[in-house]
Amino acid sequence: MDDMNYTQQLSQLIAQKTEWYNGTEFPQILDKYRLLYTCVKNINDMLIQKSIIAEDPYRFEKKISEVICPDTNPYNETERNVIVGTRFSDYIAMLDFICTYTRFNIETITLSKIKKFQELNACFDWDELTSNSAKPNTRGLSILINEARTNSPSIVQSMLNDHLSKCSQTLTEINKRLNQLIRFQREIYKLSIRKDLQEHPSYNMAKALESPDAELAEIKRVFPEIMGKKPFYTELINEIIYEDQGPDREANRQSVLSKLEIKETKKVTKKQVNTKELLMNSVLVLGALSPTYRSISEKISENLSLVHTGPSSLAGKIKELFRKAFGLKAKEIQIKLVTIDPITKHKNTREIKVNELIEDINRKDRIYTGIANRGIEYNKINAANEDQILSFLGKQISENQNLFITIQALDDYFKNIPNVTVRVRMKGMKIDLDTMKNTIITCNKKRGEYQAVIEEAEQMKRLGIKND
């Protein structure tokens, strides 16, 4: 094929693939980064909750304007928790920046930006997350995660392993798509050389086609004048020359055109879904709330003892011992709280009995511990039919959402105690609330996945389609 026809075909295929990238491929890459961010943040929250790392106090002060890979240099092992914790926080901030502020289209995701993405992706090696890794960040994070696994309930370890597995799978998929994007961006660069430079009046095509060396010399001669600040990629210029004057010129060009074609994705037959198992996976997520509720219960009790100084005094402690020894009920404590509806943002003022709240939290802790350990509670739920399990799940999600609103309001109440001396000693519950919120969202999402499968099956049944 002649040069003009080849350039026209290139232009047409690249325009089609650019449209495909902007409309189909980039949204999928962004979704993958969002999933990666969610999993990494959940891992970070677990490490903070276990007091293995501390929340970065300067994370909101760091101004991010571009994607930069966190420090990967060796560090003093005695400072591992602090340094790796800070680097991990920076890594999360970069993923958040990509998900929130990056415009995913062919014009902005250039070769140089893809390189920065790849550097960030390599900051922590999720495929080889071992304590003997040669990479300081990966090795350090692996040691911290192993610490988090120690004495953790099986459900928490299961969720942690699930997050780690998803990080590995998601990043592998992202890197695969970025490598494909690099190849496409290279062809866009080569097309710009053909259209902007080789079709320019200053370019001597006849002289260039005398030999490969002559073509390289001619491109170099006019490149600064025509292409301006565009980088000169020698490797890609040589590919152009090879396509123009190589021994297998036609085969080379046909290979390029073939790679630019949009391949249709093969449809995969869906496997039969075990809906009962899908539903019980949602129930198992509730088990992760057990250690969170235990922590919240302890913090509320400690904060109350600071507000009501009786138990902290010697006389108060003696009274508390007598109360527990004789099984007497604790003095009822009522607190006026301002709760905020998460949907309408409407504020409501109501009084709560804190003792009843603590009892409710402890009761849920016992139930969810049984679920996490696959004990009697779990077996009872598993023995029920799917409608009963779904009803139980809906009730638990609703109750936990209401508990979240109440505990959040109580946390605000403790933070605003007038007595400064008492206020600074209060135990904050922000990390527990974040974990609680994420767990409820995960549980609700899994319930939604179950309902979607059921609705799809019912719709197919109405249409008379059998799902074999």
**AA letter at 319:** K
User: Would you state the pLDDT for residue 312?
Assistant: 45
Mean pLDDT of the chain: 87
Question: For the chain, what percent of residues have pLDDT higher than 70?
Answer: 90
Question: Under 8 Å CB-to-CB from 441, ≥6 apart: which residues?
Answer: none
Q: For 107-111, 148-152, 213-217, which range has the lowest pLDDT when averaged over its residues?
A: 148-152
pTM, two decimal places: 0.62
Residue 186, CA distances (Å) to 180, 183, 192 in order = 10, 5, 10
pLDDT band, residue 168 (cuts 50/70/90): very high
Q: Is the pLDDT reported for residue 350 higher than 60?
A: yes
Mean of pLDDT values over 157-166: 89
Highest-pLDDT range among 63-67, 70-74, 299-303: 70-74
Token pair recorded at residue 434? 């974040």
Q: Which of 161, 453, 406 is nearest to 288 (CA)?
A: 161
CB atoms within 10 A of CB 102: 17
pLDDT of residue 314: 45
Minimum mean pLDDT range among 10-24, 206-220, 445-459: 445-459
Spatial distance between the Cα atoms of 377 and 396, rounded to a whole number of angstroms: 14
What stretches of 25-78 adopt beta strand conformation (E)?
A: none
Sorting pLDDT into bands at 50, 70 and 90, what band is 74? very high
Neighbours of 148 (CB within 10 A): 19
Q: How far apart are CA 36 and CA 50, in angstroms?
A: 21
Question: Residue 311: what pLDDT?
Answer: 42
- Cβ neighbours of 75 (radius 10 Å): 16
Find all residues with CB under 8 Å of 159, minimum gap 6, and list them. 42, 285, 288
pLDDT band of 55, cuts 50, 70, 90: confident
SS3 content of the chain, % helix, strand, coil (to 5): 70, 5, 25
Residues in the chain: 468
Lowest-confidence region among 77-86, 273-282, 434-443: 273-282
C-alpha distance from residue 151 to each of 122, 278, 293, 434 (Å): 30, 27, 17, 21
Q: What is the pLDDT of residues 106-122, one digit of tens each?
A: 999 999 999 999 999 99
Selected residue with higher pLDDT from 435 and 316 = 435
* Segment 407-417 mean pLDDT: 90
For residue 64, the model assigns a pLDDT of 84
Q: Residue 126 — φ and ψ, nearest 5°?
A: -70, -20
Q: Which residues of 284-313 are buried (b: 16+ CB within 10 A; e: fewer)?
A: bbbbbbbbbbbbbbebbeebbbbbeeebee
Helix or strand holding residue 26 (H, E)? helix 26-49
In this predicted structure, what is the pLDDT of residue 332?
73
Token pair in block for residue 392: 């139980």
For residue 388, give every residue at least 6 positions away whose Cβ sits within 8 Å of its Cβ, in sequence order, or none. none
pLDDT per position as a tens digit, 257-303: 999 998 765 554 455 668 888 889 889 889 889 889 999 999 998 88
State the residue for tokens 């501390």: 54
* Residue 319 predicted with pLDDT over 60: no
CA 43 distance to own-chain centroid: 9
